[in-house]
A and B are shown apart, each in its own frame.
Chain A
């Protein structure tokens, strides 16, 4: 029983990280059909933004305040990644709409440049971010099983992001415009929606969420210039498995991959576990080629 709960928690924890990384992709890839391979680097930028916030607190704030730097780091990483996403959209992505594979290559190039930039500025070795004291330790349940606060915090952060995104996309005026443009660009433009503005905003928000993901990843270990590459392919698999266009698909995809990954790795070993998950995804796509939750559409392509 104890083992079961621990594995369940591990699975949930991996799922939450995957989901946080994939949420931004679900917007840029799912809604805009742009393959943003620089997404991993935006995560990396969020992580370094957290690192910088920490250093600023160490240098300029009284030591008693240090524990609260993380609360500020979350909006800071969002803002920085948001700004870089905005620049990226206006400078490059704008010219690549409707050519997803080309956007993949171009953003991969951007990712290389950003990685190298990080290496030049912060140095190639990993840097450690000290997590605040209130996230150390864990919660004891059922005689001995320890659930670390950090993991619980990430799960809570994911839920908060999900709710915020849901409200933004489905309950706000901006979000309605966003959905309108993604469903039928020409018609939305005819009705007076500024598609350029919406594109830029959508992409920037997706990037901003990547920044938050990066901020959360600093809790799990040291960060380095190639932080994002570890997560990017898994995140894409989440979006492919979940289906594009709906948030609930991304949630289910992340939970599925996270849970199965934990399960298989427990049964076999880390490398075989990954292979089994991949085989399962391909097998699943045989049954539902467009993912778990697909948008119903009549258009052919």
Chain B
């Protein structure tokens, strides 16, 4: 727990920066920010006394892919994020402490940093059977989540599980797993969706909060604007093939070899908000579309319940059969067309008989 009280100053001293260097940094920063003569001492004071931001990292119903992604961050390196920038006080997957020792840290942080710590949640709580489908430290996870959320400053919802529900909330959702914002409504929640989210996006969000001491600007759906305000499609390097009308039509056709647009193969880049096409994965090596596979919108709400991964048109199940909008629409238009045709036929028949009747009556009269 001693690490939690460490300040920025302690950390950079440990990394070999002299006190003189530290003051130089403070002066330079104060000048660049246009602060007055007392500026440098204010900054130095803040950095020397303000403890690093404590972070509690909890795991609900999840697969740990978010953690796996996080530890592969290259910019910044995850060791810098975890060991210098924040004070990761609790993360049951990677922490040294275990059992009661580990659980004690939760209570300690709650008491010591009331309203100051960030609660990072990976996975989500199931609500059915009073939350019995996810037991963590002998209690339902949802209880742990609620109690830790009470005193936190903000919540980071890691991944699609915490943000939208993901696979455990897919229909029929037997455990009634719900995203964090359905359980915690009185705290700011930063959604960082993706299955998993990109490592650099995760560390980027953490870096922003520690550097500026405030939460990043969020969009309408609670996602940081800096990473989620554009679609995969908007920055896709295959976009020119989309505009040109050059599509892959089979996985092994000429278009696939030429790197054409994967839209017809069901690529959901046009509806998926994420930074994959700019930040990419594994230190900027590649991302799905670059490897020839369409995006399947893993960062979007309910992406498991939108039919096939390889269909752009959503499967609609409300009609009892699995059809997409086109099939339903064409069926409806077909029925309308047939009705029209039948109606026209009946009308014609009726007119003919009327005419014949009329002619017959005329004959009678004649």
Q: Say if A and B assemble together.
A: no
Give me the interface of B with A, judged by CB distance under 8 Å: none
